[in-house]
Structure 1
Amino acid sequence: RKIRNEYGKELPIIATGGPTEESILKTIEAGANSITYTPPSSAEIFAGVMDKYRHNQANN
């Protein structure tokens, strides 16, 4: 909001919205014109892969 208030609507703002829908909406409300999404970390992705692997191993 500070940047938007200081420079007005003429300055395009590209911002990182964060990993959640709530944080992205707050960034848009603050005046961002474009949002980049923060993807899940490698650890979060790997945890999901391992959960699926463990589930499949338990069912075999």
Structure 2
Amino acid sequence: MSIYESGEDYLLAILVIKERKGICHSIDVAEETGYSKASVSIAMKKREFDSFEFYIFLKS
């Protein structure tokens, strides 16, 4: 399953923010990646990345 570069950026940002703050919100991802809040919101709604792939990413 392929993942877009922006999807990778979201995953990495979520991981970094979660480790730093213990919780992650869309606004945090937007600030961390430099993407607009709307872009982050749309990507999360569309699930640009597969949820299982996301789980594996966080566990590794």
The TM-score, its normalising length taken from structure 1, stands at: 0.25
Higher helix residue share: 2
The TM-score, its normalising length taken from structure 2, stands at: 0.25
Query: Over alpha carbons, which structure has the higher Rg?
Result: 1
Higher strand residue share: 1
